[in-house]
Structure 1
Amino acid sequence: MNNSIKKIFTTMDSIGFLPKRIIMHGVQLATGLLLIALTLHFINNNIYHFDYNINIIMFAMAKTGLVIFAEAVIGGLVVDYLSKKA
């Protein structure tokens, strides 16, 4: 198991500058959206006692955050692959 973790870290260290930035900023944006959605969830349950409009906004933000996370990671890895191939 320890060997597998080392392999993952060495692979991630070999990623270029631009793909690392794409992944890093995409993960930061996705985390921000997920934190805002989580805050809205707690506000909706504790203060507004389940307002349906806030619930729709919360789920849309959470889903968008997950999609941005996946797109940033996959996009960064594809950019790295294409830049190393060229």
Structure 2
Amino acid sequence: MLSSANLDFTSLLIHLALLLFGSAGVFYSLVLGIVHIVQKKTNSLAYYLRMFLVSGVIGLTFWGLIVVIWLLSLDL
């Protein structure tokens, strides 16, 4: 049976993953939008949504790799 501590930890991990995914996606989409405004390029909303999703996955993978490397470096 799960205790409330396990549920809180699971909830924390889910929220952290969503935060990392969203922040990477929003940051890259914002930078990409500014660059395209300066270059006077027009793209559809689907293009920016696709870039949001791709950059979110890349950001989440990057931070996951950083955490794995950090955990492997610990002397447990």
**TM, length-normalised to structure 2:** 0.46
Normalised by the size of structure 1, how large is the TM-score? Answer: 0.42
More helix by share: 1
